[in-house]
Amino acid sequence: MTATIHRLCTPQPSLEPMLGLVAGDLNAVNAVILDRMQSDIPLIPELAGHLIAGGGKRMRPMLTLASARLIGYTGTRHHRLAAAVEFIHTATLLHDDVVDGSDLRRGKRTANIIWGNPASVLVGDFLFSRSFELMVEDGSLKVLKILSNASAVIAEGEVNQLTAARRVDLGEDRYLDIINAKTAALFAAACRISAVVAECPEGEESALDAYGRNLGIAFQLVDDAIDYVSDAGTMGKDAGDDFREGKMTLPVILAYARGDADDRTFWKDAIEGRRDSDDDFAHAIDLVRQTRAVDDTLARARHYGQRAIDSIGGFAGGKAKDAMVEAVEFAVARAY
């Protein structure tokens, strides 16, 4: 008997298998999203639509849909819930861009730049309320519990990140706490709720939660690495954005920990906002290269990616499982 061990090894992994797997379901989810972002107040669908229709990958709804496929769920309740998850995500993006003063997301001008901070805050609140209305319509208190908890954890994570801002001595553990809360919690919930509507045993619920959570951490780590290697074309954000905003991410944490006294002074100055020129960024790139900080951020990402893959090891093989494995490979391979 031979064990089947899924490893991070596909040469050019892509999201295509997952997209193909859930294409029909995703159309249904998009229909719910478009229907439920409507309002008599024209600014609401206009602003929400800018972000919702604006090239997002629908990563979280896709995870809900793919998880449902993995466990053989044949109903349609997860369509509405996947839309609720996307609304929560969109609401947090709108508020994030206000909090960070961002001007670009996915290569487009942000809503707060076009319509102003007040509109972004309020339309975020609207989408957040609408997501709960969708969940209430579904009627599962267990799903409501999972997603209201995830929402509170996300907000806590955002505040945690805010209070950690510009602290060069943040450390990897607290950083992981932050991304666990602000990114991985919703990935985990998106996967878990499919197991809830399908009434799977607790073990399968936990396995899907772990898949989403580890994938979410891997995803965020790669995003953070990309800021120190790529240009604006790669993912619709400018390389150096995080650096110029003094954002503490793992590449900085590692470069700081591994640097000499001069390097640490440089990072402290940069994170505290006293170094944000192009030359400073070029020097930062040098330092992360010398300290292998990006390489090792990506190695950490692969660690969590492998954990995501192994957490669904117990499910029967097939198209859904293959697509979910390749989605992880895609997530961790984006920076190469």
DSSP of 71-128:
TT--SSHHHHHHHHHHHHHHHHHHHHHHHHT--EETTEE-HHHHH-HHHHHHHHHHHH
Q: Coil, strand, or helix at residue 247? A: coil
Min dist. Cβ of residue 82 to its own copies (A):
18
Query: What amino acid occupies position 211?
Result: Y
Q: Which two tokens stand for residue 36?
A: 């439920």
Cβ proximity to its own copies: between 188 and 325 the closer is: 188
Alpha-helical (H) ranges within the chain are: 16-36, 43-52, 59-70, 77-100, 111-115, 117-138, 141-164, 172-179, 185-197, 202-226, 232-235, 241-244, 250-258, 261-271, 278-290, 293-311, 319-333
Cβ proximity to its own copies: between 128 and 266 the closer is: 128
Min dist. Cβ of residue 11 to its own copies (A):
41
Cβ proximity to its own copies: between 129 and 277 the closer is: 129
Cβ proximity to its own copies: between 90 and 311 the closer is: 90
Residue whose C-alpha is closest to residue 170's, from 216, 224, 93, 212: 224
Cβ proximity to its own copies: between 209 and 326 the closer is: 209
Min dist. Cβ of residue 191 to its own copies (A):
19
Cβ proximity to its own copies: between 48 and 218 the closer is: 48
Cβ proximity to its own copies: between 148 and 306 the closer is: 148
Contact residues toward its own copies (CB under 8 A) are 39-44, 91-92, 95, 98-100, 117-119, 121-123, 125-126, 128-130, 132-133, 135-136, 139, 141, 144-145, 148-149, 151-152, 154-156, 158-160, 162-163
Min dist. Cβ of residue 66 to its own copies (A):
26
Min dist. Cβ of residue 327 to its own copies (A):
27
Min dist. Cβ of residue 79 to its own copies (A):
19
Q: Which two tokens stand for residue 107?
A: 């290569």
Neighbouring-strand partners of residue 104? 109
Q: 87 — phi, psi (to 5°)? A: -65, -40
Min dist. Cβ of residue 40 to its own copies (A):
7
- Letter string b/e over residues 166-195, b meaning 16 or more CB atoms within 10 A of that residue's CB: eebebeeeebbbbbbbbbbbbbbbbbbbbb
